[in-house]
Chain A
Amino acid sequence: MASEPLLRLQAYSQVRADGTPVLQDLSFELGRGEILGVVGESGSGKSQLLLGLLGLAMPGSRVSGSACFDGIELARAPEPVLRPLRGRKIAMLFQDPLLTWNPCLTLGSQLIETARLHLGSDSGTARAQVLQALAEAELPDAGMLLDRYPHEISGGMRQRALLAMSVLAKPALLLADEPTTALDPTTQRRVLARLASLRERGMSILLVTHDLGVVAEIADRVLVLQQGVIVEQGATAQLLRAPASAYARTLLDAARQMEGLPCLP
């Protein structure tokens, strides 16, 4: 990669308040316009990595090492430095869209709130911006969607609208935490296509998942995490074809047994 990577972690570790290590000695880079898949079983610290980068690790946990985002040191950065980054430069997409929307407010009011917060627009412009973002996400009936409550629309729509909200401010980095796990295959495909098109526009994506099919389809590089330690990382095709570590092989075998790994590049 010629240019400076967008995100570079060096010996990044996270330790819980009671001393249990969550992440140990992580070092990796994420280039601009690149999708890095992070795989590993539940409890391997994938989600904690994402929250930790935003300074929202569990209360009392200690962070060491370095996590440099676009020239800003994220590890141990104080709240006033981190908050303006959240949502604007670094956005996050969650697994379950029903839980991630506030059930008491319409999609519109939450989307417009985000637009006003990050784009600083007045409510009229914010509405237009939201409609445009929904149109870009190829969501039909965007105007009607704004008046709906989260429980009134389908799970797929919820997640796609959520993705539209996450990237509303055109962040440089999207942290996606199992974004397709709760979706049916068709919607999964739509969301992945949208992520790919965001990559075309130069957005970097850190894609946490346990679905190797998703990784095979979209990630440029893969990082395998086992109990908070990187056991292997490399280009997707190479890693999936010839995993070097025993753990990656186990994951691959498990995935193959479940469904047969689709579309290996």
Chain B
Amino acid sequence: MSRSLPRASLVLLGLLISAAVLVPWLSPHDYFTPDWDHTELPPQWSRGHLLGTDELGRDLLVRLMWSCRISLLVAGVASLISLVIGLAWGVTAGYFGGRVDSILMRVVDVLYSVPFTPFVIVLTVLFGRDLVLLFIAIGAVSWLDIARVTRAQTLGLKEREFIIAAEVAGLTPWAIMWRHIVPNLIGITLVCLTLTIPAVVTTEAFLSYLGLGAQSPLTSLGVMLADGAAQMRSRPLLLILPAVVLIALVHSCNRLGDALKDRHGL
């Protein structure tokens, strides 16, 4: 199976990521300073506001790129957290099997049953609205899928001869898991990661839209969507632009993940 990767998605993703990374150096404008002389400008090239400005005179393009940056940052960190927890959890459960497996996977089942939005609302009530909290909250939920997938893969891997050979050679369980199982899971975890990232981006946008995520003046795709929705009759562009960026980001990640998934024959 060597279906080629979707090139358009790769290019789009590359553009969005480089915009997100490079934005502090790309434009003279920043995302938070109001400019009362240039509020609500339409897109115009001459004054340097390529997509116009919002009601506080902040450059829309710059804010979009900053939103990408924050959204991708949250997605990256949360996915990494979930990858580490999920991989460790799943491999341990799958390799030891038996009672260890039952206990670990029942914990996963219980956590699955916790409704996510109320959980985050309770967290914000307890600890205040904070971006770091958002990382933790999302990471704490999205490792469950990775744990399940890696457990299933480990169950198959541990019957393979080279794992039995490693046992026969006297390796400790930890050495077998770390040296011989985890490297064989790289493909699948990569697939999981490309599918987790867009899910986290959507979740982050949803929470920020509700005002539980990034706080003004810090922006994120969810914040911009919420701002835009408030003025969608007068200035639809404020809603359409972040929506397009969100869709592009999520869609290209998903396409990439799907293609990788087919490649690994999952």
Contacts and interface: CB of A to CB of B under 8 A. Distances in A.
Contacts of B162: 99-103
B170 A118 contact: yes
B96 to A, nearest CB: 11
A12 interface: no
A94 B184 contact: no
A104 B184 contact: yes
B38 interface: no
B263 interface: no
B210 interface: no
B172 interface: yes
Of B160, B161, B180, which is in contact with the most chain A CB atoms at under 10 Å from its CB? B161
A155 to B, nearest CB: 14
Given A103-B162, A104-B186, A87 B168 contact: yes
B10 interface: no
B232 interface: no
A103 B179 contact: no
A91 interface: yes
A166 to B, nearest CB: 8
B165 interface: yes
B241 interface: no
Contacts of B184: 102-104
B168 A86 contact: yes
- Give the contact-size bracket for chain A: 20 to 34
Instruction: Give the 9 A-B CB pairs with smallest separation, nearest first.
Output: A86-B170, A87-B170, A87-B169, A99-B161, A104-B183, A92-B168, A100-B165, A102-B162, A100-B161
Given A51-B164, A102-B162, 16 more contacts: A56-B164, A84-B170, A86-B169, A87-B170, A87-B171, A94-B161, A99-B161, A100-B161, A100-B162, A100-B165, A103-B184, A104-B184, A113-B175, A117-B171, A117-B175, A165-B169
A114 interface: yes
B166 interface: yes
Contacts of A100: 161-162, 165
Contacts of B130: none
Contact of A117 (B160, B167, B169, B180): B169
Interface in A83-122: 83-88, 91-92, 94, 96, 99-105, 113-114, 117-118
Interface of A: 51, 54, 56, 59, 83-88, 91-92, 94, 96, 99-105, 113-114, 117-118, 165
A218 B162 CA distance: 27
Given A94-B161, A96-B161, A102 B180 contact: yes
Interface string B166-199: 1111111001000110011010000000000000
Nearest to A89: B170
Interface in B27-84: none
A6 to B, nearest CB: 18
Nearest to A95: B161
B170 A56 contact: no
Contact of B179 (A56, A87, A105): A105
Nearest to B97: A59
Given A104-B184, A104-B186, A99 B160 contact: yes
B98 to A, nearest CB: 8
Contacts of A59: 97-98
A191 B164 CA distance: 22
Nearest to B187: A104
A88 to B, nearest CB: 6
A99 B159 CA distance: 11
Contacts of A51: 164, 168
B165 A92 contact: yes
A84 B175 CA distance: 14
B105 to A, nearest CB: 18
16 contacts: A51-B168, A56-B168, A59-B98, A86-B170, A87-B169, A92-B168, A99-B162, A101-B162, A102-B162, A102-B183, A103-B162, A104-B183, A104-B186, A113-B179, A117-B171, A165-B169
A105 B165 CA distance: 14
Given A103-B184, A113-B179, A83 B165 contact: no
B165 A94 contact: yes
Contact of B169 (A99, A104, A105, A114): A114
Contacts of B170: 83-88, 117-118
Interface string B127-166: 0000000000000000000000000000000001110111
